[in-house]
Amino acid sequence: MMSPRSFVAGAFVALALSLSAAEVQLTLRADAPGPVINRNLYGHFAEHLGRCIYEGIWVGPDSPIPNTRGYRNRVLAALKQLNVPVLRWPGGCFADEYHWKDGIGPREKRPSMYNSHWGGVVENNHFGTHEFLDFCELIGAEPYVCLNVGSGTVQEAMEWVEYITSPASSPMANLRRAHGREQPWRVKYFGIGNESWGCGGNMTPEFYADNYRRYNTFVKNYQKDHRLFRIACGSNGQDYNWTEVLMQKAAKQMNGLSLHWYTLPTGNWKKKGSATEFTEAEWFSTLRNTLKMDELITKHAAIMDKYDPDKKVGLVIDEWGTWYDVEPGTNPGFLYQQNTLRDAVVAALNFHLFHRHADRVAMANIAQTINVLQAVILTDKEKMVLTPTYHVFEMFKVHQGATSLGVDLTSPDYVFEKEKLPAVSASASRDAAGKVHLSLVNTDPKNAHTVTCTLAGLAAKSVNGRILTAAAMNAHNTFAAPAAVQPAAFTGATLADGKLTVALPAKSVVVLEL
Ligand code: AHR
């Protein structure tokens, strides 16, 4: 017989268990479809910065590294695997110093330039318009070209658009033909300046808005059935006044307005924090800082709603990701950093936020694809490694173009010292074939959580999935150990009586298919 004492202890345990079970309740609202998750939320950004373009993407046709017309074969294969929807180029800050005519014609005749922003290196212009657009065709991505407003001219921008897109017999279209490309490309996305409040010209929003309108007038549609999507330079993080002025003065002239937001562990640009050497304090602060994206989108979107209630102008988050101190011993101007399980969690949390705001967010481009900031691929001479962030892009590609589904979640807290953030984040979608995908993140590095999921409007017959996790918060892939962090089959999800139960391990990202 149970003693009164053990009965009380048992009751406490039962209560504690029931409370913790009750805390992680999720209802997947398959009966409440939301907006379509634009594929472009899974976009990329590749700048002439450090070893992103040169060495990363472009090794040159004469390289001993296996390549196709100069593009590293393993990079081509890895990016094709991600279904990269859109790729932004040539910058970044570089875009406002780039003169496109230096990057066409026979490579050996192209003039060199000084890359003043990024390491002061000499840029030989071997990767130019044709190389970029050819690369996009090879990986199946839509190109997004950022025009030079800061140090360029209206004529230069206008001619570049004509060179790329005009089918006519006109000076720029004929110049393109002379360089071997008969048909125009169907490039849709054009950015008009980059960070015009900073490296792109240090402009006030009023001055930029006027310039935007002027440049935009000459960014023309040259093909009858092909309308360009013009993206105005947007705010630096929390500069809401920039959004207000741009929307007030130029909303009718734009299709997209950008937003840049980087996640720094410390929030201090002088000492950002290491990519791999960090404690739980920096794990926590990194995740807390990245979740500010929610507030930023909400507040910028509210301003956009005032001027554009029909949501015709998309918010284009064309630079986002983690920014750490560079890897010791590397060129500080090259922004080379490692990538750990923490970056994977950052990526997954941001994707969930983008999905949640899919009615306004039209595109997002991680900074940057290879060897720079939160890269999906790292290279060292002939070697290549896929980062944990790559694996999240690959696992989450099932959400691309799918219809978002409602997710009602009461998350327990992940508490660190005196602060807290939600331990569990979730997002769901239904793809064109009717398959439902549920992605889950556990931000808590120490505690597993059991998620009990009610499936509203969904009679699921089976569940399977994959998990990305590791023993250590800073686990990462190296050239010596390239598979330290990679997705594995997930066996912690079960279906019974129409309910889904998921045993979500600490510090993990899971994607389930129902
Ligand atoms: O992505 C690196 C740099 O960050 C970009 O060139 C610039 O736009 C931003 O400040």
Mean pLDDT by 10 residues, the chain (514 residues): 40 39 80 96 98 98 98 98 98 98 97 95 97 98 98 98 97 98 98 98 98 98 96 97 98 98 97 98 98 98 98 98 98 98 98 97 98 98 98 98 96 95 97 97 96 95 97 98 98 95 97 98
Protein residue closest via CA to atom 3 of ligand 1: 92
| Strand, helix or coil for residue 198 | coil
pLDDT at site 23: 62
For ligand 1, the distance from its centroid to the CA atom of residue 92, given in whole angstroms, is 5
For ligand 1, the distance from its centroid to the CA atom of residue 18, given in whole angstroms, is 48
Residue-wise over 151-190: b if at least 16 C-beta within 10 A, else e?
ebebebbbbbbbbbbbeeeeebbebbeeeebeebbebbbb
CA distance 95 to 204: 19
Structure tokens, 298: 């909400």
Catalytic (active-site) positions: 195, 319
pLDDT at site 361: 97
Q: Determine the residue type at 213.
A: R
pLDDT at site 2: 38
The dihedral of CA 220, 222, 225, 228: what is its sign? Answer: negative
pLDDT at site 8: 41
What's the predicted TM-score (pTM) here? 0.94
Report whether 63 contacts 54 (CB < 8 A).
Answer: no
For ligand 1, the distance from its centroid to the CA atom of residue 93, given in whole angstroms, is 6
Q: Residue 423 contacts by C-beta under 8 Å, 6 or more apart in sequence?
A: 411, 412, 413, 414, 442, 443, 444, 447, 449
Please name the residue that has the structure tokens 């929307």.
247
Q: Which of 260, 320, 336, 337 to mutate to test the pocket of ligand 1 (most atoms within 8 A of CB)?
A: 260
For ligand 1, the distance from its centroid to the CA atom of residue 136, given in whole angstroms, is 21
Please indicate whether residue 91, judged by its CB atom, sits closer than 6 Å to ligand 1: yes
Q: Which of 53, 149, 195 to mutate to test the pocket of ligand 1 (most atoms within 8 A of CB)?
A: 195
Please name the residue that has the structure tokens 């390491």.
119
Q: Is the peptide bond before 333 cis (omega within 30 degrees of 0)?
A: no
Q: Which atom of ligand 1 is nearest to the CA of 91?
A: 6
CA distance 230 to 184: 18
CA distance 42 to 47: 17
pLDDT at site 5: 42
